[in-house]
Amino acid sequence: MSELSQEEIRRRRLARLAALSGAGSGPSPASPPATPGASVPSPDAMAPHPLSRLSPTSSPRGSTEPSTPDLTNTNKEPNYNNEVSKSDVTDQTNIPADGLIVTEKSDNNLLDEMPDTKMTDLSQTRQYNSFDSMGEDTLLSCGSVRVGSLPQSTVGGSEGTSTREDSTSRSISPAQFAEPSPVRPRPNVSPSCSRRSLSMEVDDTSERNSQSEQQHEPMEVEDDSSASPARKIYRSRTVSCTELTEDQLRHIVAKILQVSWSEDSAGGIFVPSVAAALLDNPKLSLDELASEAIMDVITQIADGSDPLNQKLIAVSETSKRLSEDCGDDTLTSGPLGSEMDADKADCPTPSLPIPKTIPTQGLAVSYLLRFYNNINLYEREHPKKSSEPPLSDLLQNLRTLLVNHLVLVLQGRFELEKCRKSPLLPYLLIGNTPIGLIPEVLLATYTEKEVFEEVFIPLLMGIREEMRRCVSPAVGRGHGAALRALRSLCDMRAGPRHALRPVCALIARLPSLCPEAVTTAPGREIARVSFLGPFFAISLFAEENPRLAERLFASGSSDRSLAFALQREVEASRNTLHNICHNILLCPEAREPFLNYFAAILQRNERRAQLQTDERSLAGDGFMLNVCSVLQLLSVRIKLERVYPLYTFQPDSWANVRDETRLYFTAQEAQDWLDELNKDPNHKWPEAKFQTVCWFLTLHMHHVALIPALHTHQRRIRAFRDLQKVIEELMAAEPQWRNSFSALRNRELLSRWRRQIKRLHRSKQCAETALLDGDVMRRSMQFYASACALLTAQLEAARAGTGPRAGAFRATPEWYVEDIAEFMLFAVQYVPRIVADYIEDPIITWLLSAICNSHLIKNPYLVAKIVEVLFVVNLSLPLKLKNVYEKFMDHPMSQTALPSALMKFYTDIETTGQSTEFYDKFTIRFHISIILKGMWERPIHKQAIVKESRSGRQFVKFINMLMNDTTFLLDECLTYLKRIHEAQEGSAAGASGASAEARARALAQDERQCRSYLTLARETVDMLEYLTVEIKEPFLRAELVDRLASMLNFNLQQLCGPKCKNLKVRRPEKYGWEPRRLLSQLVDIYLHLDTPQFHAALAADERSFRKELFEEAAARLAKSCIKTTTEIERFKALADNAYQIAVSNQQKSDEFADAPEEFRDPLMDTLMTDPVYLPSGKVMDRSVILRHLLNSATDPFNRQPLSEDQLRPATELKEKINKWQREKKGSTS
């Protein structure tokens, strides 16, 4: 052959290729040469008849006319016996043991052909990935297979028959193995399979294969006596200890690629180009041989052939959705469960349905993956031999060839019918890609940007599309495969020291990562359109995942195990998302675009934090909570020392607070402070580091994600309770409307409201499952602990008043403080155990610091929320929060500064600037009174309160407000009790019609108001009672004692006077009305303040003080055994002393009745005893003006600001008054 010219060699080779390919015109194209199926037959079926192997002389290679069998006459084909004894096998060592020479597929061996990769569960994924030779009517349902007619491309002559003769009639081409008879299907096979039976079959087949493979060990292979002399001449030995010959290496190549080019090749796909190449050049290198074989297989696929019957034609008729290209728009079986038949419960269900049609590009990829997996299988079965040259080099070269051809196929460089999605997508979603394939593809392409993008962008978009379908409301499950696929891609590294993350960088370059907003709903748009949007859209909320609510919470019963399982599943998904995002952020070129994506989500959903929003234009709670959770996980290891606290004020900050309400500054004051900071030559804005940006993005994401979700849930609970109450009220009134004209309307309302409350209940259960997740609450509390530490540091700087941080706290947005308080209130109420286990000292320190420095916070409602946190912690002691309360009480700040701060805030809350301030102050003061009551029971705190009472005017103001509240609340309570008494008496008299309904509604309203006021009044009276035990002097001050005595006398008259019967109501415990307890407390206050000053104040009360009133009260105390005899006697003595002073006062009043006008107080018209000048020039008695200043720090005549320091004693006028009194007494005597 060497004597021929190269042109002659080329001409002869092309002629032989044309002859071997069977090209020619005919009525119907002949089937491709020898395309046996790939299933593994039984050992008996694998034994060929001695005559089944054709010698080269029977069909000369140089012949230009192909040997075409007569497909219409099956008698011309040799009739093979299915039960051939092993003695009849002439050369079984040349028949490969892995099923490369196979027959039609039988049901008991259908799964044996699947490559066994590390990431593959054979029982679940074989049906999808093994595109084996199945008939057109073959059905695949839950792993059970029905064998029907075979494709005509692999069966000659007959139409759908399964007889042995018809199934074995095939076209024969040169150098092609004749096909043995098929394996008979196993009789009485159950239509539903089990994992155990499948695994047993696979194990049996694997054992047979391993036994056969041992015959091919290189050191045990004997020279084939039937080999031609030419083959022996060109046999060359390798220079390795394994002593593999060139023919043995070619045999391995043929076995791995499942091809054949000669009579003794270990393959199943005939590759004529390789046969021709070897004929021209017997010394053809292994790389050239393998490359030629792969190209030949791809060419056959491009021509419409399916050499190994990889393509599955049909799918189960019960499949709900079919995929046109590589499994798109298909239903997946997710971890949330699906309804299955009882007999299929144990069957392996494919996680993706089989595509209805497979384009040739997908078919080519399936072949290349099959060949690549054969390398892995061979290395696993022959680990020692495969680890040493030359076989190790050969296998690596084969990998490189397969990867290169795979890249070319994925790029579309061949004339193949393209898939709409990446052909690798189904394998990656199921996790069935051969080990090492995807990393090899990445390493082969990442240096060429265009090639890399052509390969991986379709794959990424296919994963996104699958995720989008899984999280859609129509499916709502099965998202785990897409998440794991994306994570596996993002985990891949390349480059020196594995420092590069090409897929992460590619994601950052995608235009869809953070697309520009083009609609009027930017928040929802970025959640739907962005590349990672579907991955963050996993949700347990009924509004976003209605099928979850309908499927799992339809019964309405709360199943904790179900909620826990759902929480664990979502938490696993969030951990996977965190892994993906962390890998992307580790890529330097992807970090900034990815942080910009988070910032865009934040900015486009800022309106979620507003009270009134259009939820249709914003992202859902589930999406935002997932983003927030990922940011929490990213921030968990960020040290606060590395966070720049003034980042939000930087010009290029992604966390903008320009339009936010500040803690103390107005918008103009904040801008002035910022301008001054920019002009400071010693100040320079540092470059924002990742730790700073990530931490502040996490803080702001809590504001637009977690807190709005908590508010929505609380509104949902209120709506549920209100609707439930309306239904109960309408049902209770059914006897009244049952026979009226409104009966039909009321029944329709009941039916509609019951359906609505059922939906609300399901929605509430879903929201509780999502929000009351222990991991979410724990991470949120831990992150808010770091936020509290930052705020505390800024507050300390503001108190010091030095440095650029001095104004930072005052310029901080209000919601920084409010969100912490809102979260703590929610957590204490719904997840107290999380609070008890994970509350940290920074949170406690911040809450106490904010209360003790309330002057640095302009909005009193912010401080009130923090006070409410302490209040609910105090009330939640039975809920195992005692350790939390102890931490608050043991803090040094609570033992020193907290009591005085609470008393000061008690007085400051008198005016808030809001229209509801009058009613708000009672609620806030109720919280403070509960906290002070708890502190009074602890000796250290009690001592601090007593010490505060001696410090000056602040405690006097506190007592004044306490007395004001007591007076008002008791008056309101007694008024409502009288109205309830009248209403109950009226209902007993009888009423009918509309008046009865109106009276019932009015009574219900009065009962609610009375119950509320009695709750508040009870605490204020309690506070007066226990404070007067140890503290007396402030209550006896001239500006207070008269008002206190007047209040006590009036309420004593209400309880023991002639009209006390009007306070009698039915079921007083329903309202918390305890008249005996109230009378006892009032008497205690009388006795605690039993001093001459108090006696004089009692006597000065001309409106209510009467000796007979005290005698009647003493009689009631004795009759009801409310007080002891000693206490009753002390009470009577107090009344006698006051009465004597009252008689004396009456005499003085008559004596000084004609006092000059200038000696009288202009407000009270009483004789002044200590006159003072006001800045306006007016003269008032000191006790009167001080009493006025306790309530309002203004001049009563011109409303100008006024304080006690501005009062000037009127010494001359006082002397005139005293002189006049002496003269008056002298003249009288």
CB neighbour burial string for 706-744, b if at least 16 within 10 angstroms, e if fewer:
bbbbbebbbebeeebeebeeebeeeeeeeeeeeeeeeee
CA 688 to chain centre: 28
Other beta carbons less than 10 A from residue 295's beta carbon: 17
Tens-digit pLDDT profile for residues 881-911: 888 999 999 999 999 999 999 999 999 998 8
- How far CA 449 is from CA of 442, 464, 634, in Å, comes to 11, 21, 29
Contacts of 48 (CB under 8 A, 6+ apart): 80, 84, 89, 95, 101, 177, 178, 180
Between 1025 and 94, residue with greater pLDDT? 1025
**Residue 22, pLDDT above cutoff 90:** no
- Residue 1181's nearest CA partner among 1034, 1040, 1038 is 1038
Residue found under tokens 């017997």: 282
Radius of gyration of the chain (CA): 46
What is d(CA 657, CA 654) in angstroms, rounded to the nearest whole number? 9
For residue 988, the model assigns a pLDDT of: 60
**Residue 475, pLDDT above cutoff 70:** no
The DSSP secondary structure of 823-849, one letter per residue, reads HHHHHHHH-HHHHHHH--HHHHHHHHH
For residue 714, the model assigns a pLDDT of: 94
Other beta carbons less than 10 A from residue 1038's beta carbon: 16
For residue 372, the model assigns a pLDDT of: 94
pLDDT range class, residue 877, cuts 50, 70, 90: low
Residue found under tokens 């909320």: 541
Range 1123-1139 average pLDDT: 93
Contacts of 5 (CB under 8 A, 6+ apart): none
Between 613 and 989, residue with greater pLDDT? 613
Range 1106-1121 average pLDDT: 91
Using an 8 Å Cβ cutoff, are 256 and 375 in contact?
Answer: yes
Burial class (CB within 10 angstroms; exposed 0-12, middle 13-18, buried 19+) of 329: middle
Range 753-782 average pLDDT: 93
Q: What angle is formed at CA 63 by the lines to CA 58 and CA 64, rounded to 5 degrees?
A: 140
**Residue 242, pLDDT above cutoff 60:** no
What is d(CA 94, CA 266) in angstroms, rounded to the nearest whole number? 7
Range 972-987 average pLDDT: 86
Q: Which two tokens stand for residue 138?
A: 């073959």
Q: Which two tokens stand for residue 1041?
A: 């004692």
Tens-digit pLDDT profile for residues 1135-1172: 999 999 988 888 777 777 778 888 888 888 888 888 99
Using an 8 Å Cβ cutoff, are 184 and 106 in contact?
Answer: yes
- How far CA 1017 is from CA of 514, 655, 961, 971, 1023, in Å, comes to 57, 46, 13, 10, 10
Contacts of 1221 (CB under 8 A, 6+ apart): 1152
Beta bridge partners of 1171: 1181
pLDDT range class, residue 2, cuts 50, 70, 90: very low
Beta bridge partners of 1179: 1173
Paired sense of beta strands 259-260 and 269-270, if any: parallel
For residue 826, the model assigns a pLDDT of: 96
**Residue 534, pLDDT above cutoff 80:** yes
**Residue 927, pLDDT above cutoff 90:** yes
- Residue 266's nearest CA partner among 29, 51, 63, 99 is 99
- Residue 1078's nearest CA partner among 1009, 1025, 1027, 1118 is 1025
Q: Which two tokens stand for residue 1077?
A: 């307890």
Q: Which amino acid is at 635?
A: S
Beta bridge partners of 245: 237
- How far CA 1099 is from CA of 678, 782, 845, 1046, in Å, comes to 67, 60, 49, 9
Between 116 and 804, residue with greater pLDDT? 804
Between 413 and 343, residue with greater pLDDT? 413
How many C-alpha atoms does 161 have within 13 Å on its Cβ side? 11
Using an 8 Å Cβ cutoff, are 626 and 538 in contact?
Answer: yes
What is d(CA 37, CA 834) in angstroms, rounded to the nearest whole number? 60
Residue found under tokens 């724990």: 778
What is d(CA 1208, CA 492) in angstroms, rounded to the nearest whole number? 84
Range 1022-1037 average pLDDT: 92
Using an 8 Å Cβ cutoff, are 243 and 218 in contact?
Answer: yes
Beta bridge partners of 145: 140
Tens-digit pLDDT profile for residues 595-611: 999 999 999 999 999 98
Tens-digit pLDDT profile for residues 253-297: 989 999 888 765 545 788 888 888 888 888 889 999 999 999 999
The CB-based long-range contact list for 390-396 (8 Å cut-off, 24+ gap) reads 390/238, 390/239, 390/240, 390/242, 390/244, 390/249, 391/240, 391/242, 391/244, 391/249, 391/252, 394/249, 394/252, 394/253, 394/286, 395/256
Between 735 and 97, residue with greater pLDDT? 735
- Residue 186 Rama label (left phi>0; alpha psi -120 to 50; beta): beta
Q: Which amino acid is at 277?
A: A
What is d(CA 866, CA 851) in angstroms, rounded to the nearest whole number? 7
Q: In what order do the strands lie in the sheet with 1208-1209?
A: 1179-1181, 1171-1173, 1208-1209
Beta bridge partners of 270: 260
**Residue 126, pLDDT above cutoff 50:** no
For residue 646, the model assigns a pLDDT of: 92
What is d(CA 238, CA 243) in angstroms, rounded to the nearest whole number? 6
For residue 876, the model assigns a pLDDT of: 74
**Residue 564, pLDDT above cutoff 80:** yes
Between 754 and 1228, residue with greater pLDDT? 754
For residue 852, the model assigns a pLDDT of: 95
Tens-digit pLDDT profile for residues 57-95: 333 333 333 333 343 333 333 333 333 333 333 333 333
For residue 190, the model assigns a pLDDT of: 35
What is d(CA 589, CA 337) in angstroms, rounded to the nearest whole number? 40
Q: What percentage of the chain reaches a pLDDT higher than 90?
A: 46
For residue 186, the model assigns a pLDDT of: 35
For residue 875, the model assigns a pLDDT of: 83
Tens-digit pLDDT profile for residues 102-119: 333 333 332 233 333 333
- pLDDT averaged over every residue in the chain: 77
Residue found under tokens 């007080």: 1123
Using an 8 Å Cβ cutoff, are 460 and 531 in contact?
Answer: yes
Q: Which two tokens stand for residue 668?
A: 């103009």
pLDDT range class, residue 202, cuts 50, 70, 90: very low
Residue found under tokens 């699947």: 114
For residue 911, the model assigns a pLDDT of: 84
- Residue 337 Rama label (left phi>0; alpha psi -120 to 50; beta): left
Other beta carbons less than 10 A from residue 239's beta carbon: 8
pLDDT range class, residue 173, cuts 50, 70, 90: very low
pLDDT range class, residue 794, cuts 50, 70, 90: very high
Beta bridge partners of 1160: 1167
Using an 8 Å Cβ cutoff, are 238 and 110 in contact?
Answer: no
Contacts of 331 (CB under 8 A, 6+ apart): 319, 320, 321, 353, 475, 478
**Residue 1121, pLDDT above cutoff 70:** yes
Range 19-42 average pLDDT: 37
What is d(CA 307, CA 154) in angstroms, rounded to the nearest whole number? 9
Using an 8 Å Cβ cutoff, are 495 and 480 in contact?
Answer: no
The conformation of residue 916, written as its DSSP 8-state character, comes to T
Using an 8 Å Cβ cutoff, are 665 and 808 in contact?
Answer: no
Tens-digit pLDDT profile for residues 616-674: 999 999 999 999 999 999 999 999 999 999 999 998 899 888 889 999 999 999 999 99
Q: Which two tokens stand for residue 1174?
A: 């006001």
pLDDT range class, residue 1228, cuts 50, 70, 90: low
Structural domains of the chain sorted by starting position, each given as residue range(s) with its CATH number in brackets: 11-213+235-411 (no CATH), 995-1150 (no CATH), 1157-1228 (3.30.40.10)
**Residue 174, pLDDT above cutoff 50:** no
Residue found under tokens 């009133």: 1109
Q: Which of 207-216, 275-284, 322-331 has the lowest mean pLDDT?
A: 322-331
What is d(CA 185, CA 1180) in angstroms, rounded to the nearest whole number? 116
* Three-state DSSP string of 241-307: CCCCEHHHHHHHHHHHHCEECCCCCCCCEECHHHHHHHHHCCCCCHHHHHHHHHHHHHHHHHCCCCC
Q: Which amino acid is at 193?
A: C
For residue 1229, the model assigns a pLDDT of: 57
- How far CA 1072 is from CA of 973, 1026, 1065, in Å, comes to 11, 20, 11
Using an 8 Å Cβ cutoff, are 353 and 318 in contact?
Answer: no
